[in-house]
Amino acid sequence: MELKKLLWIDLEMTGLRPQTDIILEVACKVTDLDYKTLDEYQAVVKPDIDIQDLLNDFSRQAHTDSGLLDKLSSGQTSDAVEAALIDFVERHFGQEKVVIAGNSIYMDRQFINYWWPQLAARLHYRMLDVSAFKILAQAKYGLFYTKKEAHRALDDIQESIDELVFYEQHMDLKHE
Protein backbone atom coordinates (compact mmCIF):
# COMPACT_ATOMS: atom_id res chain seq x y z
CA MET A 1 0.00 0.00 0.00
CA GLU A 2 1.43 3.34 -1.05
CA LEU A 3 -0.12 6.02 1.14
CA LYS A 4 -0.72 9.28 -0.73
CA LYS A 5 -3.82 10.68 0.97
CA LEU A 6 -5.54 10.53 4.33
CA LEU A 7 -9.21 10.50 5.22
CA TRP A 8 -9.57 12.59 8.35
CA ILE A 9 -12.82 11.77 10.11
CA ASP A 10 -14.57 12.95 13.23
CA LEU A 11 -17.89 11.96 14.73
CA GLU A 12 -20.01 13.67 17.33
CA MET A 13 -22.07 11.16 19.30
CA THR A 14 -24.51 11.06 22.20
CA GLY A 15 -21.90 9.20 24.29
CA LEU A 16 -19.07 6.69 24.04
CA ARG A 17 -20.90 3.34 23.78
CA PRO A 18 -21.51 2.32 20.15
CA GLN A 19 -24.15 -0.28 21.09
CA THR A 20 -26.35 2.23 22.92
CA ASP A 21 -25.26 5.69 21.75
CA ILE A 22 -25.78 7.14 18.29
CA ILE A 23 -23.90 9.30 15.79
CA LEU A 24 -25.13 12.90 15.58
CA GLU A 25 -22.63 14.41 13.14
CA VAL A 26 -19.81 13.35 10.85
CA ALA A 27 -17.19 15.28 8.95
CA CYS A 28 -14.39 14.13 6.67
CA LYS A 29 -11.46 15.82 5.01
CA VAL A 30 -9.29 14.27 2.38
CA THR A 31 -5.75 15.63 2.60
CA ASP A 32 -2.46 14.94 0.97
CA LEU A 33 0.46 14.03 3.23
CA ASP A 34 1.28 17.71 3.73
CA TYR A 35 -2.28 18.10 5.12
CA LYS A 36 -3.53 20.24 2.25
CA THR A 37 -7.31 19.85 2.09
CA LEU A 38 -8.42 18.29 -1.20
CA ASP A 39 -12.11 17.94 -0.35
CA GLU A 40 -14.42 17.76 2.64
CA TYR A 41 -17.82 16.40 3.62
CA GLN A 42 -20.03 17.18 6.58
CA ALA A 43 -23.48 15.97 7.63
CA VAL A 44 -25.76 16.10 10.63
CA VAL A 45 -27.53 12.81 11.33
CA LYS A 46 -31.20 13.11 12.23
CA PRO A 47 -31.90 10.71 15.11
CA ASP A 48 -34.80 8.32 14.62
CA ILE A 49 -35.33 8.17 18.40
CA ASP A 50 -35.58 10.66 21.24
CA ILE A 51 -31.98 11.17 22.34
CA GLN A 52 -32.59 13.01 25.62
CA ASP A 53 -32.05 9.88 27.72
CA LEU A 54 -28.87 9.02 25.79
CA LEU A 55 -27.09 12.30 26.43
CA ASN A 56 -24.88 12.39 29.50
CA ASP A 57 -24.25 15.77 31.13
CA PHE A 58 -21.02 16.36 29.21
CA SER A 59 -22.54 15.52 25.81
CA ARG A 60 -25.69 17.54 26.49
CA GLN A 61 -23.64 20.62 27.43
CA ALA A 62 -21.12 20.26 24.58
CA HIS A 63 -23.75 19.70 21.88
CA THR A 64 -25.96 22.49 23.23
CA ASP A 65 -23.08 24.97 23.38
CA SER A 66 -21.93 24.05 19.86
CA GLY A 67 -25.43 24.43 18.43
CA LEU A 68 -25.47 20.84 17.17
CA LEU A 69 -28.63 19.82 19.04
CA ASP A 70 -30.56 22.61 17.29
CA LYS A 71 -29.52 21.24 13.87
CA LEU A 72 -30.56 17.61 14.40
CA SER A 73 -34.14 18.01 13.16
CA SER A 74 -32.88 19.14 9.74
CA GLY A 75 -30.31 16.34 9.47
CA GLN A 76 -30.23 13.34 7.14
CA THR A 77 -30.96 9.71 7.97
CA SER A 78 -28.04 7.58 9.10
CA ASP A 79 -28.41 5.36 6.01
CA ALA A 80 -28.30 8.37 3.68
CA VAL A 81 -25.18 9.70 5.41
CA GLU A 82 -23.44 6.32 5.17
CA ALA A 83 -24.24 6.15 1.44
CA ALA A 84 -22.90 9.68 0.91
CA LEU A 85 -19.73 8.81 2.84
CA ILE A 86 -19.14 5.71 0.72
CA ASP A 87 -19.59 7.79 -2.42
CA PHE A 88 -17.16 10.39 -1.03
CA VAL A 89 -14.58 7.68 -0.26
CA GLU A 90 -14.95 6.07 -3.69
CA ARG A 91 -14.50 9.41 -5.46
CA HIS A 92 -11.21 10.04 -3.69
CA PHE A 93 -9.78 6.57 -3.07
CA GLY A 94 -11.40 4.30 -5.63
CA GLN A 95 -11.54 0.75 -4.32
CA GLU A 96 -8.39 0.92 -2.18
CA LYS A 97 -8.67 0.49 1.59
CA VAL A 98 -8.59 3.90 3.23
CA VAL A 99 -6.40 4.96 6.16
CA ILE A 100 -8.44 7.16 8.47
CA ALA A 101 -6.89 9.82 10.66
CA GLY A 102 -8.01 11.83 13.66
CA ASN A 103 -7.81 12.24 17.40
CA SER A 104 -8.60 9.11 19.44
CA ILE A 105 -9.74 7.73 16.10
CA TYR A 106 -10.34 4.27 17.52
CA MET A 107 -13.51 5.54 19.22
CA ASP A 108 -14.83 6.90 15.91
CA ARG A 109 -13.87 3.60 14.26
CA GLN A 110 -15.91 1.62 16.81
CA PHE A 111 -19.00 3.69 15.95
CA ILE A 112 -18.35 3.33 12.22
CA ASN A 113 -17.96 -0.44 12.61
CA TYR A 114 -21.23 -0.69 14.53
CA TRP A 115 -23.46 1.86 12.75
CA TRP A 116 -21.98 2.02 9.23
CA PRO A 117 -20.62 -1.46 8.41
CA GLN A 118 -20.56 -0.85 4.64
CA LEU A 119 -18.31 2.16 5.20
CA ALA A 120 -16.22 0.18 7.71
CA ALA A 121 -15.56 -2.43 5.02
CA ARG A 122 -13.85 0.28 2.93
CA LEU A 123 -11.40 1.25 5.69
CA HIS A 124 -7.88 -0.06 6.22
CA TYR A 125 -7.08 -1.61 9.59
CA ARG A 126 -4.29 0.95 10.03
CA MET A 127 -5.19 4.36 11.40
CA LEU A 128 -3.26 7.56 12.05
CA ASP A 129 -4.13 8.54 15.62
CA VAL A 130 -3.00 12.03 16.64
CA SER A 131 -3.54 11.13 20.30
CA ALA A 132 -0.61 8.68 20.06
CA PHE A 133 1.63 11.62 19.15
CA LYS A 134 0.11 13.57 22.06
CA ILE A 135 1.01 10.85 24.56
CA LEU A 136 4.61 10.78 23.36
CA ALA A 137 4.94 14.57 23.12
CA GLN A 138 3.66 15.14 26.64
CA ALA A 139 5.52 12.28 28.33
CA LYS A 140 8.86 12.50 26.53
CA TYR A 141 9.14 16.14 25.45
CA GLY A 142 6.84 18.05 27.82
CA LEU A 143 4.93 19.43 24.82
CA PHE A 144 1.31 20.39 25.31
CA TYR A 145 -1.08 21.49 22.59
CA THR A 146 -4.02 23.62 23.70
CA LYS A 147 -7.24 22.58 22.02
CA LYS A 148 -10.29 24.75 21.46
CA GLU A 149 -12.73 21.85 21.98
CA ALA A 150 -15.37 23.15 19.55
CA HIS A 151 -17.23 19.80 19.50
CA ARG A 152 -18.28 20.22 15.89
CA ALA A 153 -16.89 17.56 13.63
CA LEU A 154 -15.31 19.70 10.89
CA ASP A 155 -13.72 22.07 13.41
CA ASP A 156 -12.36 19.11 15.37
CA ILE A 157 -10.75 17.65 12.25
CA GLN A 158 -8.92 20.89 11.50
CA GLU A 159 -7.81 21.05 15.11
CA SER A 160 -6.47 17.48 14.87
CA ILE A 161 -4.50 18.41 11.75
CA ASP A 162 -3.14 21.54 13.44
CA GLU A 163 -2.19 19.48 16.49
CA LEU A 164 -0.30 16.92 14.41
CA VAL A 165 1.57 19.69 12.60
CA PHE A 166 2.47 21.17 16.01
CA TYR A 167 3.96 17.82 17.12
CA GLU A 168 5.80 17.34 13.84
CA GLN A 169 7.39 20.78 14.16
CA HIS A 170 8.30 20.50 17.83
CA MET A 171 9.44 16.88 17.79
CA ASP A 172 11.44 17.38 14.58
CA LEU A 173 9.34 14.81 12.74
CA LYS A 174 8.89 16.87 9.59
CA HIS A 175 11.62 16.06 7.10
CA GLU A 176 11.96 18.51 4.22
Q: Which amino acid is at 8?
A: W
In b/e form, how buried is each residue of 92-128, taking b as 16+ CB within 10 angstroms?
Answer: bbeebebbbbbbebebbbbbbeebbeebeebbeeebb
Residues ≥6 apart with Cβ < 8 Å to 122: 86, 89, 90, 93, 97, 98
The answer to whether 102 and 14 are in contact (CB under 8 A) is no
Q: Which amino acid is at 53?
A: D
> Running DSSP on this structure, what letter comes out for residue 14?
S
The answer to whether 94 and 122 are in contact (CB under 8 A) is no
DSSP string, 52-86: TTT--HHHHHHHHHTTHHHHGGG-B-HHHHHHHHH
Q: Would you please indicate which residues are annotated as catalytic (active-site) residues?
A: 125
